[in-house]
Amino acid sequence: MKRIFAMAAAALALGACATDPVTGESIWGNTGRGAAIGAIVGGIGGVFAGGNDGRNAAVGAAVGALAGAGVGRYMDGQEEDMRRKVAASGIGLQRQGDNIVLVMPSDVTFSKGSATLDSQFTPVLSKVAESLNLYPKTTIDIIGHASTEGEAQANLDLSYRRAESVRVYLQGAGVLSQRMATGGLGESQPIVVPDDTEAKRAQNRRVVITLRPVTQ
């Protein structure tokens, strides 16, 4: 399992503009807060895209890899299955090329300031695990995000612990540990800027799961 917590922590001292990985929109970090987001997102992409962390090889050896037109068909099937399983759950699902992105807002996953999964959410996460087990030829990136409320370092730590909570639950539900990588980006990639109301802060507190096909 690859961790990027330290990389995110090192970047928190800088401010920058970046592209939000969920919406695709340009975002600005608050002055003196946030991170060198362009660099950190690039680093995360290199690690999590199956390039250097060894997951493609490990998962491919365990369950096989995809190739050619089979990649799109496989991910189409997983997208359809996952949409059925998370319907009306509060989880957002987006298709980005051959990747599938699940956005889990904090109001349905965790209590404020907590990294313990809400008991009302675990049945939904079990459904997510079912789909992940049904379609095992993907790697799974689990990234926690936080609002700007409170201390930046505490938010960074909380975002990582929330991602880890999701990983531990999925692993307990049978998802292959070699498929998963976790990280915390704290407050460095907000969806809403500034998050000066509780409603806006709630949007920025989230866990994002990205599914990427394992290819030959």
pTM across the whole model = 0.76
In tens digits, the chain (216 residues) has pLDDT values of 445 443 444 343 333 344 444 444 333 333 333 333 333 333 444 444 444 457 877 776 767 678 788 899 999 999 999 999 999 999 999 999 999 999 999 878 888 888 999 999 999 999 999 999 999 999 999 999 999 999 999 999 999 999 999 999 999 999 999 999 999 999 999 999 998 998 888 889 999 999 999 987
Domain that includes residue 168, residue range: 5-213
Give me the CATH number covering residue 203. 3.30.1330.60
Q: How many domains does the chain have?
A: 1
Residue 143 neighbours by CB under 8 Å, 6+ apart: 44, 159, 163, 182, 183, 184, 185, 207, 208, 209, 210
